[in-house]
């Protein structure tokens, strides 16, 4: 990889120990990561993120604009990227549904940006103030055409800060939309958050080209590195950015050969790096009979259930996804060789469990613990299914 690693700009880093909620911590993570432009159309339960950003950004040095709707918000941020800024798009399910066209645009134009989805109960306007994890498939498949994104799932305000920085860094490294998949509980729960000094926060710089105008092609890549170099408007480069299928110069080239070259590259720049993009927490998985796979707020409740199951003498592994997309297929396949069953609690009616089933190909039992959302699972519900799975 050729991107430069920098230290965070101290202006955006609120170093110290705080007692703040996940939304506020996410905002501080974005500021620490170098986000200096947000165009927002606020929606519960994500509102506090942009509210804080709007209050903080004049002092840090940047811009917040309240837009007229979600379409405008999700495309204005991409203009900000091509003007050279790091940007974030903040919303919840109903807003995200309206933004799907521009998700595809960001993927197609390889515009590095972070999308925050503070998930609430759906579909439609659903449960504005209550949690769900039911947008997991939407972010992966919601826009039309073939594309890849990266998605991270924090389970505490501290992780809203930490993973926000990681999300920004990954978006620069891979030049794709990166999602921070929060939920209403994590967004609104208040806990201790430690923000380190700026010189301890590593920031991935944009992959700026060193080529001169005239030599530079906006979408030229090599077989070793599928991520093109970038420029910004106003630096003397003539660039063309389009959602149409384009050639190496970025010009529309709507034909079979260019489609056949572009689309596999957009997918493979992520798919070829699934090992580097593996980020999970594993505890007790080596000799487990049953593995509980979870993410986000559910991983905390699942941990309570796992501890209770272990107290009963059961061998239960705890597998928590930090990066949910790309899904860790190989890891699940390796674990499937050793365990009797997977148990998958999630605050939806069974989404990521489909990925587990797809990976294990029927070799072991996969038990879904769905939940329509509005609250979290009771640990006892998960415990019952662990006991059932261990039989």
Partner 1 sequence: MNTEIRFSGFGGQGIIRCALITGKALSLYDDKFATMTQAFGPEARGSACSAQLVVSDEKVLYPYITAPAVLMALSQEAYEKYHGEVIEGGTLIVDADLVKTREEHPGRTLWKVPATRFAEELGNRMFTNLVALGFFAAVTGVVSDAAMKQALPGLVPDRFLKINIKAFEKGYMHGLEVTKLDTAEVPAA
Nearer to partner 1, 17 or 254 (CB): 17
How many C-beta atoms surround the C-beta of residue 238 within 10 A? Answer: 11
> Least distance in Å: CB of 213 to partner 1?
50
- Site for partner 1 contains 125 (CB under 8 A): no
Residue 274, SS3 per DSSP: coil
Of these, 8, 43, 301, 331, which contacts partner 1 (CB under 8 A)?
Answer: 301
Give the nearest distance from C-beta 16 to partner 1 in angstroms. 10
Q: Which residue, 13 or 189, has its beta carbon nearer to partner 1?
A: 189
Q: How far does CA 382 lie from the centroid of its chain?
A: 26
User: Whose Cβ is closer to partner 1: residue 72's or residue 308's?
Assistant: 308
- C-beta of 40 vs 296, nearer to partner 1: 296
Nearest distance, CB of residue 301 and partner 1, angstroms: 6
CA distance 245 to 106: 13
303 counts as binding partner 1 under rule CB under 8 A:
yes
Cβ at position 374, least distance to partner 1 in Å: 10
Q: Which is nearer to partner 1, 16 or 264 (CB)?
A: 16
Q: Binding partner 1 by CB under 8 A: which of 84, 128, 370, 372?
A: 128
Rounded CA-CA distance 164/125 in Å is 26
Stretch that binds partner 1, among 123-131, 196-204, 207-215, 339-347 (CB under 8 A): 123-131
Integer Cα distance of 221 and 310 in angstroms:
50
Min separation Cβ 184 and partner 1, Å = 8
Q: Which of 198, 278, 304, 329 binds partner 1 (CB under 8 A)?
A: 304
Per CB under 8 A, the list member of 33, 44, 182, 270 interacting with partner 1 is 44
Helix (H) or strand (E) holding 5: strand 5-7
How near is the Cβ of 160 to partner 1 at its closest, in Å?
A: 14
300 contacts partner 1 (rule: CB under 8 A): yes
Shorter beta-carbon distance to partner 1: residue 131 or 228: 131
Nearest in space to 46 (alpha carbons), one of 62, 33, 30: 30
Contact predicate 77/38, CB 8 Å: yes
The distance of closest approach from Cβ of residue 367 to partner 1 in the complex, given in angstroms and rounded to an integer, is: 21
First CA to last CA distance, the chain: 47
Residues 83-112 that bind partner 1 (CB under 8 A): none
Answer yes or no: are the C-beta atoms of 237 and 115 closer than 8 Å. no
| Residue window 148-187: x/- pattern of binding to partner 1, with contact defined by CB under 8 A | ------------------------------------xx--
Query: By the 8 A CB rule, do 117 and 142 touch?
Result: no
Shortest approach of partner 1 to residue 132 CB, angstroms? 14
Per-residue CA distances from 131 to 114, 217, 285, 296, 347 (Å): 21, 45, 28, 11, 8
Strands of 139-214, DSSP E:
150-152, 177-183, 190-195, 202-204
Of the candidates 231, 247, 221, the one whose C-alpha atom is nearest the C-alpha of residue 239 is 231
Residues 1-40 binding partner 1 (CB under 8 A) are 17, 19
Across 243-264, b (16+ Cβ under 10 Å) vs e yields eebbbeebeebeeeebeeebee
CA distance 349 to 141: 17
- 7's enclosing H/E stretch is strand 5-7
Residues 183-222 close enough to bind partner 1 by CB under 8 A: 184-185, 188-192
Interatomic CA distance for residues 159 and 161, integer angstroms = 5
Looking at the Cβ atoms of 47 and 221, the one nearer to partner 1 is 47
Exactly one of 25, 292, 376, 389 binds partner 1 (CB under 8 A); which one? 376
Query: Which residues are at the interface with partner 1 (CB under 8 A)?
Result: 17, 19, 44-45, 127-130, 184-185, 188-192, 297, 300-301, 303-304, 307, 375-376, 379
């Amino acid at each position: 990889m050729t991107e430069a690693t920098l230290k965070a700009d101290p202006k955006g880093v609120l170093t110290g120990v705080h007692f703040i909620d996940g939304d506020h911590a996410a905002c501080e993570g974005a500021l620490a990561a170098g986000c200096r432009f947000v165009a927002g159309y606020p929606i519960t339960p994500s509102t506090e993120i942009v509210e804080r950003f709007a209050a903080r950004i004049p002092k840090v040095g940047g811009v917040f604009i309240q837009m007229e709707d979600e379409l405008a918000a999700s495309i204005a941020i991409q203009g900000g990227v091509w003007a050279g800024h790091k940007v974030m798009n903040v919303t919840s399910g109903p807003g995200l549904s309206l933004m799907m066209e521009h998700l595809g645009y960001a993927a197609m134009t390889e515009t590095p940006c972070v999308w925050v989805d503070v998930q609430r109960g759906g579909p439609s306007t659903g449960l504005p103030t209550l949690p769900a994890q039911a947008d997991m498939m939407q972010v992966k498949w919601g826009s039309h055409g073939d594309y890849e994104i990266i998605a991270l799932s924090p389970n505490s305000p501290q992780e809203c800060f930490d993973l926000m920085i990681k999300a920004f860094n990954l978006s620069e490294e891979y030049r794709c939309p990166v999602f921070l998949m929060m939920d209403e509980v994590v967004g609104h729960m208040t806990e201790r958050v430690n923000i380190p000094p700026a010189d301890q926060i590593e920031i991935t710089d944009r992959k700026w080209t060193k080529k001169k105008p005239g030599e530079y092609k906006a979408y030229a890549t090599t077989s070793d590195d599928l991520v093109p170099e970038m420029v910004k408007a106003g630096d003397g480069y003539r660039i063309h950015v389009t959602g149409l299928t384009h050639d190496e110069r970025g010009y529309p080239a709507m034909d079979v050969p260019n489609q056949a070259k572009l689309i596999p590259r957009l997918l493979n720049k992520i798919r070829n790096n699934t090992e580097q993009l593996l980020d999970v927490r594993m505890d007790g998985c080596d000799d487990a009979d049953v593995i509980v796979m979870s993410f986000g707020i559910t991983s905390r409740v699942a941990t309570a259930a796992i501890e209770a199951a272990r107290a009963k003498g059961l061998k239960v592994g705890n597998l928590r996804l930090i990066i949910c997309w790309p899904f860790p297929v190989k890891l699940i396949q390796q674990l499937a060789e050793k365990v009797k069953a997977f148990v998958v609690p999630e605050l939806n009616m069974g989404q990521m469990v489909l990925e587990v089933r797809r990976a294990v190909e029927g070799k072991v039992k996969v038990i879904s613990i769905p939940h329509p959302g509005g609250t979290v699972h009771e640990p006892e519900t998960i415990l019952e299914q662990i006991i059932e799975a261990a039989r």
